[in-house]
Amino acid sequence: MTSMRTTPRPRASSASSAARRLVPVAAGLVLLTATVLAGTRAAPRVGTAVPAGPAQAQERNDREVPDDPRLREDHVDPFDDGHPAITGLRPALRAALQDAARDADAQGVDMWVTSGRRSLAYQQELLDEAVRRYGSLDEALRFVASPDTSRHVTGDAVDIGPTEADDWMIRHGADHGLCQTYANELWHFELATEPGGTCPAPRADAAG
């Protein structure tokens, strides 16, 4: 995607001189129940199609969130109800996300939020960055929505990580109404069907 930078990194010397301070927090044992689910991979639901109508009938969320540096954090606990990226989600989406994260955890899949609610300012930053990266606004809009159309700005979308959790969510998210809505964004989920329903086919990209 992005071209490799050819310019050398400007400063690489000071980092080593600075003594790295390791806070001696006893890192709690991470009990990863590595449940191997080799034989239990459920096929994606390809049943009777549910019209995408009901999920679209959502009222606009006019309540903007104030800009907050924490909205830019890319590893947020889905259950962190004190975090603006989580509390700013539409309540039904937040509940579905947490239910899904609980299910995933029960199957040994760790899940976190790489981007939840966004402020207008943050969305504009992301778009500006994409314009620089892709060279034009038209191209950038295939990957990053504008502040006035972003589903993150209204609290209707959540980005999930890591890849294993994306994969899990693509296969099981519909149990909670959560669907991948853009084909080129494996990590982006919205409420787009009824719980247990069938997800509509994802659109090609955010511009489509």
Task: Number of residues interacting with Zn ion: please give it, by CB under 5 A.
Answer: 3
| Interaction mask 159-178, Zn ion, x per CB under 5 A | x-------------------
| CA 96/CA 150 separation, integer angstroms | 20
Shortest distance (Å) from residue 20 CB to Zn ion: 34
Quickly count: other Cβ atoms within 10 Å of residue 19's Cβ. Answer: 6
Q: How far apart are CA 140 and CA 130, in angstroms?
A: 5
Q: Which is nearer to Zn ion, 101 or 157 (CB)?
A: 157
The reply on whether position 118 binds Zn ion by CB under 5 A is no
Candidates 13-21, 137-145, 161-169, 180-188 — which segment interacts with Zn ion by CB under 5 A? 180-188
- Binding segment for Zn ion (CB under 5 A), chosen from 49-57, 75-83, 101-109, 150-158, is 150-158
Query: Is residue 122 within 8 Å of residue 65, measured between CB atoms?
Result: no
Using the contact rule CB under 5 A, the part of the chain among 29-37, 53-61, 88-96, 151-159 near Zn ion is 151-159
Least distance CB 57 / Zn ion (angstroms): 21
Q: Which is nearer to Zn ion, 108 or 186 (CB)?
A: 186
CA proximity to 197, closest of 68, 50, 71: 50
Minimum CB distance to Zn ion smaller for 152 or for 172: 152
Spatial separation of the C-alpha atoms in residues 207 and 40, rounded to whole Å: 36
Stretch that binds Zn ion, among 7-15, 35-43, 53-61, 154-162 (CB under 5 A): 154-162
- Cβ closer to Zn ion: 117 or 188? 188
Query: Is the Cβ–Cβ distance between 77 and 112 less than 8 Å?
Result: yes
Residue 96 structure tokens: 């579905």
- We find the least distance from the C-beta atom of residue 157 to Zn ion, in angstroms, to be 5
Task: Determine, following the binding rule CB under 5 A, whether residue 188 of this chain makes contact with Zn ion.
Answer: yes
Contacts of 83 (CB under 8 A, 6+ apart): 70, 73, 76, 77, 116
End-to-end CA distance of the chain: 19
* Site residues for Zn ion per CB under 5 A: 157, 159, 188
